[in-house]
Amino acid sequence: MNPNLKQLVNPYLPSYEYIPDGEPYVFGDRVYIYGSHDKYNGDVYCELDYVCWSAPVNDLGDWRYEGVIFRKDQDPCNDELDGNLYAPDVTVGPDGRYYLYYSLSSMGRVGVAVCDEPAGKYDFYGYVHYDDGTALGEKEGDEPQFDPAVLTEDGITYLYTGFCGPGDPKRHGAMVTLLDKDMLTVIKPPAFIAPGEYYRKGTSFEEHPFFEAPSMRKAGGRYYFIYSSVVNHELCYALSDSPEGPFEYGGVIVSNCDIGIDTYKKADMPCVPYANNHGSMECINGQWYIFYHRHTNGHNYSRQECMEKIYIGDDGSIAQAEITSCGGTPLKGSGVYPAYIACNLYLESDEKRDDLNVCDVFKPRHMIIPWIGWLCDDYPKIVQDHSDLTPDEYDKVSAVKDIKSYVSNMRDGSVAGFKYFDIKGLKKIAIHTKGYGRGRMEVYAAGRETPDKKELICTIPVSSKNTFIRWEGDASVKDGVYALYFIFRGESNLNLLDFELI
């Protein structure tokens, strides 16, 4: 590993940033992430203006804040600011300019903004419309537009949209609309390419019908329609030889709670509290990644971006990626790591029960408001002890240096898991904790090749403290690549700030 490169961790943006619905693109020698913008501890989705971050394609640990690229008050129909900016997408038009497509929470049409560079200040350009000027989504027979995604080829822009609540006969599914070279005018009206739950019977999408979050990518001559199914926590893909379809369901790329992964747990056991998901895939420096978001702060209005390596088979298939703290490349087995990069948060007892529905949030099922269970106080969660930042504060070290994000509410039997570390010569493990918890923190290691075999490698006594205090214990494990699980055993509860591998 080049010591000059920062390591990629999940979430890959700073702990104070809350970007969901990520659409990654490589432009030149940098990868840019476009998404919605949640507020820390917000109470609705997407409260803030669009911002952009970018990183060198050969250093995915070095993300740079590009600033606000589009404000919700720039939309001429949002003068009262009653609409929030939902998930956007970006494409390069035939004129070489960058076009940002978005929707507002307050109306079912698609807005477009334009800029001469990937992360500059975008200017409002217009609404997608028919020849007669009627906005797409407002013509008789149209379905409301939502979550726009775009792909431009040979002077034509393919616009993918849709939202289908479970069992809603008024919403048929995801649709594709073809736009002219002006990037606004419809030249072919919407056609449905993936059914919603009500219309799924007899199709390849029957078990994973379309819900929301369309995205489109091309790889190996195939077109990948990426979307969130009514199962809600998963990003699925469908394949076609044409951007207009027909599409056949392919599989699950990632679940933000690892349902479907059965290597270190039962396949139907969530490894972390979950809710909706949205993202896409991109090839960066020769490696494909899936981008998705996780949920923090005990609700689903403060979401953060994560990424994992994925691999596309010769037949176009994609195996489901396991969620990690490292994005696929093991982290160095020494140094200090923040606890907020935990990819597993659950109760030890969950692993030992046939009935895993100890809390509604841990109930694998179709999307019926799965986040209600976040009201359950038994589970550990990731929190931040600082109010949300203003745009002007992002670049000020003084504004961010004291922000602490950590795992809170670790009670007896709570598990915080971190994956993966390339450990060599480990002697000690130290932690910083705060709270009224009294007892011990046990650290278990599970080899990447033997994920179901956990070995106790360190025991650290802890006691009640009102500030974060350092504790340490002797550790011993053979050199190798490991997942680490921190399990608290004791009374009351504590907060875990970080850990150090020594």
DSSP string, 369-437: -GGGGGG-TTS-EEEESSPPPPGGGTT-HHHHTT--EEEEEE-TTEEEEEEEEEE-S--EEEEEEEES-
Question: What does DSSP assign to residue 350?
Answer: H
**Quick one: tokens of 26?**
């490589």
Query: Using CA atoms, how far apart are residues 96 and 331, in angstroms rounded to an integer?
Result: 39
Give the contacts of 94 (CB within 8 A, at least 6 positions apart): 152, 155, 181
DSSP letters spanning 300-311: SSSEEEEEEE--
Angle at 434 between CA 428 and CA 437, to 5 degrees: 90
Q: What residues are paired with 383 via a beta bridge?
A: 406
DSSP character for 362? G
Q: Would you state the structure tokens that stand for residue 52, as one six-digit string?
A: 């952009």
Is residue 360 helix, strand or coil? helix
Give dist(CA 113, CA 128) in Å, integer: 11
For 434-462, give the DSSP string.
EES-EEEEEEEEEETT-TT-EEEEEEEEE
Q: Which of 17, 38, 47, 212 is catalytic?
A: 212
Lookup: tokens for 455: 């070995």
- The dihedral through the CA atoms of 361, 19, 36, 321 has a sign that is negative
Cβ atoms of residues 52 and 34 within 8 Å: yes
The residue to which tokens 């490696």 are assigned: 287
The Cα–Cα gap between 243 and 442 comes to: 51
Amino acid at site 488? F
Catalytic entry in 17, 21, 75, 234: 21
The first and second tokens of residue 365, run together, are 């099922």
Q: Is 212 among the catalytic positions?
A: yes
**3-class secondary structure for 111-175?**
EEEEECCCCCCCEEEEECECCCCCECCCCCCCCCCCCCEEEEECCEEEEEECCCCCCCCCCCEEE
Q: Is 472 designated active site?
A: no
- Catalytic residues, by residue number, are 21, 212
